[in-house]
């Protein structure tokens, strides 16, 4: 049973709804739910939105120790085959002021939600905030393109026109205001946008108002053969479809450029240094009680 002080804290802090879409994720779901339940921020609900799983995903999710946080399993009427559908179902069921997205094969660091709620409450005009996540897993090889930080902090977009050049926003790092997502109708469920529907939503939000970036590592993105975005040719085709559908004039396709193994090693060496730098800065910020660093749109100023 929660203590009276913890109950009082929940009343005075906004509810966050964690949206976690799943399909046959029995291998990873426990790690994902544990990372959401293990947040230092207490006032959150975890919405696990199924997409017609046929394995033990449901049993393993419901067996997790949620440490006083509520978990709701949202049954699917069938298998849609694209994450936009279960995400939208979870958004419709969400009760929180904020919505945070977590893919079933990804995880969060414990302070992720607390940092982002702090940023959103300090900047009430900001509609979306995101952070850095770091790749891990069997296919996150040091000499490969899938290794390291996403995004590179100095290239993180906070302006709508810069974001249109390339997607710098990892889905599992995002927190948004629920009313904004509902206003936009959620994720576009167009099958041709599968695996780029997240970028499409971020673009539409950025055109409504300011977005922000926190230069901290708030999670880990699992790189594996079964990942939805593992086929570059399919990704390129869908990105082209999105460019035409939303009439993106600045899109550069730069994320599809291939690097040689030597280029990857050089880039990933810098990545290790940047990772150490970000970790050190966060430790110093927390030690001295400094506020969460927030970079945001020039419509409200550049940094704070």
Q: What is the pLDDT of residue 90?
A: 98
Identify the segments of the chain with pLDDT beneath 70: 1-12, 138-146, 224-230, 298-304
| Rounded (to 5) percent helix, strand, coil in the chain | 40, 20, 45
8 A C-beta contact, residue 135 and residue 107: no
8 A C-beta contact, residue 101 and residue 19: yes
Q: Please, what is the angle between helix 232-245 and helix 197-206, to 10°?
A: 30
Which pLDDT tens digit goes with each residue over 134-164?
Answer: 988 766 666 566 678 999 999 999 999 999 9
As given in the structure block, the two tokens for residue 145 are 């393109």
Task: Kindly report the number of other CB atoms within 10 A of residue 220's CB atom.
Answer: 20
R_g over Cα of the chain: 19
What domains are defined for the chain? 9-292 (3.90.550.10)
Q: CA separation (Å) from 58 to 29, 76, 94, 224, 246?
A: 9, 11, 19, 22, 36
8 A C-beta contact, residue 61 and residue 89: no
Q: What is the pLDDT of residue 266?
A: 85
Q: What is the pLDDT of residue 265?
A: 81
């Amino acid at each position: 049973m929660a203590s009276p002080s913890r109950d009082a804290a929940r009343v005075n802090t906004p509810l966050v709804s964690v949206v976690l879409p799943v399909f046959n994720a029995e291998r990873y779901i426990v790690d994902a739910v544990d990372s959401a339940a293990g947040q230092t921020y207490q006032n959150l609900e975890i919405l696990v939105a199924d997409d017609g799983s046929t394995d033990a995903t449901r049993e393993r999710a419901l067996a997790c120790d949620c440490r006083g946080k509520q978990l709701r399993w949202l049954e699917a009427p069938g298998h849609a085959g694209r994450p936009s559908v279960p995400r939208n179902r979870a958004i419709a069921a969400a009760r929180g002021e904020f919505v945070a997205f977590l893919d079933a094969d990804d995880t969060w660091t414990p302070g992720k939600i607390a940092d982002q709620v702090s940023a959103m409450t300090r900047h009430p005009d900001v509609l979306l905030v995101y952070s850095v996540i770091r790749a891990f897993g069997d296919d996150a090889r040091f000499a490969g393109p899938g290794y390291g930080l996403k995004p590179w902090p100095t290239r993180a977009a906070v302006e709508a026109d810069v974001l249109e050049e390339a997607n710098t926003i990892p889905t599992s790092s995002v927190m948004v205001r629920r009313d904004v997502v509902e206003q936009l109708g959620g994720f576009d469920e167009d099958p041709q946008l599968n695996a780029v529907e997240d970028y499409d939503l971020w673009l539409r939000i950025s055109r409504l108002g300011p977005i922000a970036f926190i230069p901290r590592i708030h999670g880990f993105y699992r790189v594996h053969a079964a990942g939805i975005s593992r086929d570059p040719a399919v990704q390129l085709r869908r990105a082209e479809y999105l460019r035409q559908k939303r009439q993106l004039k600045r899109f550069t396709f730069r994320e599809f450029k291939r690097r040689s193994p030597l280029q990857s090693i050089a880039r990933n060496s810098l990545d290790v240094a940047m990772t150490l730098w970000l970790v050190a800065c966060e430790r110093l910020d927390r030690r001295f009680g400094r506020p969460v660093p927030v970079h945001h749109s020039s419509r409200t100023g550049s940094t704070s």
